[in-house]
Structure 1
Amino acid sequence: MTIVPAQHRPAALAPFVTALSAYDLGPAGVHRGLPSSTLSITIPETDSLEVAWPGRPGSRERFRAVVAGLHLDAAELRQRGGTRGVWLTLSPPGAGALLGIPASALSGHVADLAEVAPALAHLPERLAACRSWPQRRALVEDALIAGRARHQDNGGGRDLRAALAALSEAARVQEAARLLGCSRRHLSGVVRAELGVTPKEYQRLLRFEAARGALAAAGRAGAADLAAVAAASGFADQAHFTREWRVMAGCTPTEWLRAETR
C-alpha cells in the first residue's frame, strides 16, 4: 500500500486526525489492515471496498467507504477496479468529536461510513470528481471540520484523554492507575466504555503499533533485526514478538515486511 505523505492539518483537526493521506493499493488491490490504537476510515475513489477478517468465517462484506474500530486481529481489504483513495486515522477521542459516536461503538468491527456518519455519505462521490490530491484533502478536511462543529460536546472528555496518556506512558495498567490517582477498576471502566477494549488490550495495541513502526523503519534501512525491534518495542524477547505478531497480523514479521516492500 503506497501512501502519499499528509500535509499539515488544520488546528481544529490536529487533536483528532492522526493521519490523512492518499493511498494506492497497487496492482493486486489488496491491503492487510493491521491492529492499531486508532480508528481508520478508507474511502475509495471508485468502485467499493471488500473487507474480510481471515480468522472469522463468513465475515466478508462490501462497503462504499468503511470505518474500522479498534481491533486486535488483521483484516483484509480488497479494492477491485481503481485501487486509489483517501485513508485517514482518528484518535479514539476523534470518533466522538468528528463522527458523533464513541470509539466503543465500532470496537472489533467495521461499518459503512454512510451509516456511522450520514453527513459524510457524500464523500466517495465528491472525491471521485476531484482532479488533484490537494482538492481531495481539502474536501475531506472541510467535511471533518463541519463534523467537529456538529459534535463539539463530544470528544471523550478529560478523563479519557488522561487515561490514554497514562496508558501510553506506563508499562503496566496498575502503574497507569497510580499515575492517574485512581483505582484500576475505575480506569478499566473509563477505557472500556469509551474504546470498547480493556486497558491491557489498549496497551497491547500500542506495543504492536510501536513494533510495526520499528519494523518498517528497519526494513527501509535494508536489514530488519527482529531481536532489536522486539526489545525497542517492549517485548520480552524475539520469540514473544514473533508470537504476538502472528496472532495479531496473521503472518510473521518477515512475511509482512516482504509484502510491504515488494
Structure 2
Amino acid sequence: MIPVPPVPAALRRYVVARIPYDVDFGAPGVHRGLPSTTITLVLPLDDPLRVSWAGRPATMHAAWASLSGLHTEPAAIHHDGSQRGVQLALSVEGVRVLLGRPAADLSGALTDLDEAAVPPALRQLPERLHTLGSWSARVGLVDRTLAALAARGGDPAPQAEVAHALALLTAGARVADVADEVGYSRRRLGTLVRAECGLAPKAFQRVARLETTRQVLGRRPLAEVAATCGYADQAHLTREWTALAGCTPTTWLREEFPFVQDHGDDGGAGSQA
C-alpha cells in the first residue's frame, strides 16, 4: 500500500476512489477489469495503458490517460510485468462536474482525455504527473486539479430524481420500486437513466450488484454471498458473473487473490482459491 491521504471531503461526491498503484506482477500478462457503477480514469506513469474489451483485441486502446465509461463486459488490461500510476473512480455526477459532460457520452467507450474533449487542466495532467518524483506530490497534484475543476462547476448536476434513482439502484432496489419512489413510469425512468449514465436501469442494477459482491467474495460462502447480494441462488450469481465479468466468481478470486481461501466453488464444494 502506498501511504496517501484520503480523498478530500470536497471531492468525495465526485471521486469515489483515488488509488495510487505500484504493482509488480512478475511477468507480462493481462488483468481483468470488471464492470462498475463508476467511470474509470487511469493515469499511468511508465508506459501508456493498453486496454481492450476482453476477447476483442481489435478494440485495443493505448493512452497516457485511459478513460472508460460504464460498461457491461470485462476489459482486458495488458501489462509488461509491472504498472505504476494513479487510478480514479468517478461518480456519474463527478463526470458532469469534473469532465464537463454526462457519463452517457462515455458509455461503452475506451478512450482518453484528448478524445473525450475534457477541460484543458485535465488534458495536461498526465504530462505534469511525469515531472514529479514522489507519490505525495503526484496525489497532491491530482487532488488540486480536480478541486479546481469542481470549484468551476462543470455541467449541471443530474436532476435530483435521476440521482436518487441511481442511488436506489446501486443499493439494490428493484427497478419497479425505484420508478414508484421517484414518481416516474418505468419507461420514463429508463429514458432518463440511459440519458444520464448510458445504461438502462436494469443493466445499471446488475452492474451495481456485481460490484457489491466483489467486496465480500472470498470472505463468505458463495451461497451466502448470493443471498446477501440479492441473487436468486448461487447458480444465478455464477451466471451473472459469467455474463458481466467473463468468468465465475471463483475464477476471479484465483486471478486476483491467489492465496485467498474461498469458502465454496461455483458448484458448492469447498476449494482453495
When the two structures are superposed, what TM-score results if normalisation uses the length of structure 2?
0.86
Which whole-Å deviations, capped at 9, do the CAs of 1:57-79 have from their partners, x for residues lacking one?
51112112111110011001123
* Structure-1 residue corresponding to 2:68: 68
Judge conservation of contact 2:171–2:208 (CA < 8 Å) in 1: no
Shift of 1:158: 1.8
Judge conservation of contact 1:25–1:31 (CA < 8 Å) in 2: no
Judge conservation of contact 1:231–1:237 (CA < 8 Å) in 2: yes
Structure with the bigger percentage of helix: 1
* Structure-1 residue corresponding to 2:106: 106
* Structure-2 residue corresponding to 1:8: 6
Structure 1 unaligned spans of 5+:
219-223
Please provide the CA RMSD for this pair: 1.9
Which aligned pairs between 1:130-149 and structure 2 lie closer than 5 A? Answer: 130-149=132-151
Shift of 1:127: 1.6
- Tell whether 2:241 aligns with 1:245: yes
Shift of 1:81: 7.3
SS in 1 for 2:17: strand
CA distance in 2, matches of 1:152, 1:69: 18
CA distance in 2, matches of 1:64, 1:122: 11
* Structure-2 residue corresponding to 1:125: 127
CA distance in 1, matches of 2:72, 2:161: 24
Which aligned pairs between 1:1-262 and structure 2 lie closer than 5 A? Answer: 4=2, 7-27=5-25, 28=27, 30-56=30-56, 58-80=58-80, 83-116=83-116, 117=118, 118-169=120-171, 171-215=173-217, 218=219, 224-262=220-258
Shift of 1:104: 0.3
Shift of 1:261: 1.3
Residues 202 and 4 of structure 1, relative CA distance in 2, 3 Å threshold: farther
Shift of 1:4: 4.3
Structure 2 unaligned spans of 5+:
259-273
Which whole-Å deviations, capped at 9, do the CAs of 1:190-249 have from their partners, x for residues lacking one?
101011110111111111101111115x1xxxxx51111111111111111111111111
Alignment: residue pair count: 254
Which whole-Å deviations, capped at 9, do the CAs of 1:38-87 have from their partners, x for residues lacking one?
11111101210111112335111211211111001100112337511000
Judge conservation of contact 2:61–2:110 (CA < 8 Å) in 1: no
SS in 2 for 1:21: strand
Mean CA deviation greater in 8-17 or 230-239: 8-17
CA distance in 2, matches of 1:25, 1:226: 28
Counterpart of 2:63, as a letter, is: F
CA distance in 2, matches of 1:82, 1:215: 25
CA distance in 1, matches of 2:151, 2:83: 32
CA distance in 2, matches of 1:67, 1:85: 14
* Structure-2 residue corresponding to 1:221: none
When the two structures are superposed, what TM-score results if normalisation uses the length of structure 1?
0.89
